[in-house]
Amino acid sequence: MTIKRVTGILLIIITSGWTNESLPSAKLLEYCNVFRQIQVDVRDCVISPDSATRAFQENMKNLRAVFARDSCRSIDSTYFVFPVRCYLPAESIGGRGRGYRPDGFDLFDMEVKGSHPAHDIFIRDKDKDQIDDRTWKPVDILAFTSGVVLAVEKDWQYDSDRRGGNWIWIYDPCLDGLFYYAHNNVVEVQPGQWVNAGDKIAEMGRSGYNAYKKRSPTHLHLMFLKLTPEGLPEPQNTYDWMMMAAVKE
């Protein structure tokens, strides 16, 4: 047995028992990995919708158990921070909220197409260089609510046909639901990391098969999936929450 291997085993033993709040536990990281793997398997069509559903439910049940929800605060306007810095909801949410079309959505079936259970939030970027035309700076994506980062994609390539680009999944244990932030340029968070509402998690971009095309205006695609008591994800409209959210300068 090499020294490296012994050190590795020791490290695993130490980190499994770690309860320091600032570091994610080994258990939490494992659930994050499972969450990502299910998405990947669905995308690559190597798992049936039924198996994916069951694996997802089991994993969400485990995740729920990690968080004590008795410390949750009430859900009012102070709970939310608008996810695009320095933009007003009324000026930036696509179609004044009419872009939300949940019918037919199925997280576990790649064959189902045509729904858009999300809102697109647009910035001023006429030349589509991912730089704000007013400030000449990148636009920060902020956590809409507090939660734990479950999975991220950071390595989308411009010739990839994957549609979400560089995305982030965050689980909010108090809302008991999942937020999906897509088309980012730079992702600045890691799986297992806790973020508070208003924390910077990314910079807006044009990543993703369709979002990268010249005809597409630069935007954030924000989806929220509320979990049923059985741990199944169902789209929920976040329009009212966004309209009452605080705008961060």
* Contacts with 241 (C-beta within 8 Å, 6 or more apart), sequence order: 79, 80, 144
Pairing assessment for the beta strands 219-227 and 118-122 based on DSSP bridges: antiparallel
Is there binding between residue 176 and Zn ion (CB under 5 A)?
A: no
Dihedral (C-alpha) 108, 155, 208, 162: value to the nearest 10 degrees? -40
Q: Cβ closer to Zn ion: 118 or 245?
A: 118
Stretch that binds Zn ion, among 3-11, 52-60, 103-111, 217-225 (CB under 5 A): 217-225
Q: Is 132 in the site for Zn ion (CB under 5 A)?
A: no
Q: Report how many residues bind Zn ion under the rule CB under 5 A.
A: 3
Question: What tokens were used for 54?
Answer: 């069951």
Burial 76-108 (b: 16+ CB within 10 A, else e): eeebbbbbbbbbebeebbbeebebbeeeebebb
Contact 199, 218 (CB under 8 A): no
Among the candidate windows 60-68, 110-118, 168-176, 230-238, which touches Zn ion by CB under 5 A? 110-118
Provide the 3-class DSSP secondary structure of residue 67.
coil
117 binds Zn ion (CB under 5 A): no
State the nearest-atom distance from the C-beta of 14 to Zn ion, in Å.
43
CB of 9 to Zn ion, least distance (A): 45
**Which region among 9-17, 27-35, 77-85, 216-224 touches Zn ion (by CB under 5 A)?**
216-224
* Binder among 35, 206, 221, 225 for Zn ion (CB under 5 A): 221
Footprint of Zn ion on this chain (CB under 5 A)?
118, 120, 221
